[in-house]
Every structure is written in C-alpha cells, then in structure tokens.
Amino acid sequence: MTAPSQTAPARPAATLPRALGENRAALAFGVLLVTWIAAILFAKGFDSVSSVRYLVQTAAFLGIVAVGQTLVIMMSGIDLSVSGVVALSAVVCAQVASGAGGTAGIAVALAASVLVGLANAAGVTWLRVPPMVMTLATGTIVAGALLVYTDGSPKSAKIPLLGALANDRVAGVPLAFVLWIGITAVAAWLLHASRVGRYVFALGNGERASRASGVPLARTAFIAYGTCSLLAGVSGLVLLGFTSTSSLTMGNPYQLLSIASVVLGGTSILGGRGHVLGTVAGSLLLTLLTALLAAWNMSEGVRQITLGLLIIALLLAYARERRS
C-alpha cells in the first residue's frame, strides 16, 4: 500500500515587481514613466535626445551620492554629511591640483572623503552616537574646516580627466551616466549578493538581534559609511569636472535630495527593506521633476512644496502596498 502523495503548496511565481524590491522600485519606475510622459505632453523640449542626455547626465551627480546613501539607510542609518563631503572633495581637489597636479588632487580628495565616512562609522559604532547626530556634526565640522582652509575663496581647476568624465559621451551616452550605472551595479551586488549585504539588511531589520546572532556591526558600519562618503566624494569630483569651479556650498542640494531619492525609490527609511535599483528611479524622478517645474516657470517655493507632496504620496502608496 503506497502512502498518499502530498502536494507541496505552490510558491508564488517571481515577478518583476517582486524582483525590484517587492513592488516598491517598480512603482518608482512607473511614476518616473508617467512623469516623463507628462513632461513630453505638457512641456517643450523633453522629447528631444539632447534633453534626455542632459537629464541623465545631471541625474548622475545626485544618483552617485544617493547610491551611497542607500547603503547607510538600508542598515537603519542616515548620512547628513554627504553635502559637506561633496564640497570637500571638489574644493580639496581644486586646491591640491593647483600645486601638485590633477592626479594628486583626485587622490587626496577621495582619501579625505573616505576619512569622513570612517569618522562617522566610529562615532556611530564605538561612541554610540545616533547616526543623525553624528553625521550632522561631521558635516558641520567639514563645512567649517573648508571655510578655514580656503579662507572663504576656493580655487577653480580644469582637470582633463574629470572634465572628460563629466562631459564626454560613449556611443552617445554621457560618461557620467555610465559611471553612475556601473557604481549602481557594484552596489547592487554588494547589497543583494554578498555577505556584507546580508549584514546590512540584518542590521536594518533589528540591530540587537543581529548583534546577538554574530553580525559584525562595526565592520559593516565602516564599509557602509566609508562607501557612502567615497561616493559623495566621487560626485564632488564629477561636479568639479562639469563646472571647472569649486564652491563651499555646492553639495548643499544633495543632502536631502539624496535621502529623498532613496525614499522615492522604495527603500524604507527605517532600513532593512528596499533595492538599490529603486534609488536610480528616485534620482531620475527628482531630476526630471525639478526640470519640469522649472520649464513651467514655477518658483523655488512651489517646487519644494511639489516635491514634498510627491514624497508623501509615494510613502502612502508604499504603506498601502505593505498592508496588502
């Protein structure tokens, strides 16, 4: 007599939305598509190839910073020092390049950027300072140090390598965008296919339980915050190549916009949930929406209100999707 066969419950088929962060990233790409269609229908010039090239090129400056911010937010942290690091990288590179050359300027700028991230990680893990407080403090210190270092007058610099990286194209595609996508691919592997990524998600879902199960908090934090500052430094260098000038405030727009890009892309601000691909959609969406509102001659105040309402609307949509 044969034993009755038991049929295993069918598993839900994998879908694109599930692969892209359980619907959230797909929703962000959907909003991006709708916004782009609206831009084509209700504003002039958004259907041209040159317009698309310029949008993805400028979105890369924000997107590179936002990729690093994703790593930190995913582990239930936040980095409010990225604006200072963007300026630090550009200003230090320009200052050093004026005397020692562009290669030395790039190396020193990136090293200084990483040091800020390591300081953030040390404060968060060893001193147990809340991430918001620690990173805000280091960002303020960096801003003050730059003011002293430059005496309020940062230098300009034309570095061929950075100029090519920011302005040249590969097969018609802006090289800055190619760099951004390459960085995103590496970050996606780090977050979703490596042991470090598993640690990041574990810490985002519960630090105490993760520490009790042997997740190395300090090492993971140093990798996440160090990478975040490194990418902010890379963005500062690309911006320097794009404008050939450095400014003490050039990173200010990227502090909150990088966080907004992560949130709009579907990553939970509390950590432990999301996908780095959603951050790409969030960065493109913010850049496109800003350009669209500018094309409609809306004031800066109206732009900020609109962006805030969009973030709230998407957060409500994410909450509804999670309940369902």
Residues 6 or more apart from 308 whose CB is under 8 A from it?
none
Domain of 55, CATH number, reads 1.10.3470
pLDDT above 70: percentage of residues in the chain = 90
**Separation between Cα atoms, residue 184 and residue 168, nearest integer Å:** 20
pLDDT at 230 over 80: yes
pLDDT at 284 over 70: yes
Residues 6 or more apart from 199 whose CB is under 8 A from it?
75, 210, 215, 216, 219, 220
Q: What is the rounded average pLDDT of the residues 2-24?
A: 46
Per-residue pLDDT tens for 202-213?
A: 998 888 888 778
Query: Residue 266: what pLDDT?
Result: 85
Residues 6 or more apart from 87 whose CB is under 8 A from it?
142, 143, 146, 236, 246, 247, 248, 249, 250, 251, 252
- Domain count of the fold of the chain: 1
Q: How confident is the model at residue 17 (pLDDT cuts 50, 70, 90)?
A: very low
CB 242, CB 177: distance < 8 Å: no
**Maximum Cα interatomic distance, the chain, rounded to a whole number of Å:** 91
Whether residue 65 lies inside any domain: the answer is yes
Q: How confident is the model at residue 23 (pLDDT cuts 50, 70, 90)?
A: low
Average pLDDT, the chain: 87
Whether residue 38 lies inside any domain: the answer is no
pLDDT at 10 over 90: no
Residues 6 or more apart from 186 whose CB is under 8 A from it?
none
Whether residue 256 lies inside any domain: the answer is yes
Of all helices (H) and strands (E), which one includes residue 75? none
**Separation between Cα atoms, residue 179 and residue 166, nearest integer Å:** 9
CB 183, CB 67: distance < 8 Å: yes
Q: How confident is the model at residue 314 (pLDDT cuts 50, 70, 90)?
A: low
- Domain span holding position 105: 49-318
**What's the full length of the chain, in residues?**
324
| Residue 156, strand partner residues | 245
Whether residue 11 lies inside any domain: the answer is no
Query: Residue 27: what pLDDT?
Result: 82
Per-residue pLDDT tens for 50-76?
A: 889 999 999 999 999 999 999 999 999
Out of 3-12, 86-95, 267-276, give the one with best mean pLDDT.
86-95
Query: Residue 322: what pLDDT?
Result: 54
Whether residue 8 lies inside any domain: the answer is no
Whether residue 19 lies inside any domain: the answer is no
State the pTM of this model. 0.89
Q: What is the rounded average pLDDT of the residues 140-163?
A: 93
pLDDT at 185 over 90: yes
The amino acid sitting at 173 is V
Out of 5-14, 234-243, 264-273, give the one with best mean pLDDT.
234-243
Q: What is the rounded average pLDDT of the residues 166-191?
A: 95
Whether residue 37 lies inside any domain: the answer is no
Whether residue 4 lies inside any domain: the answer is no
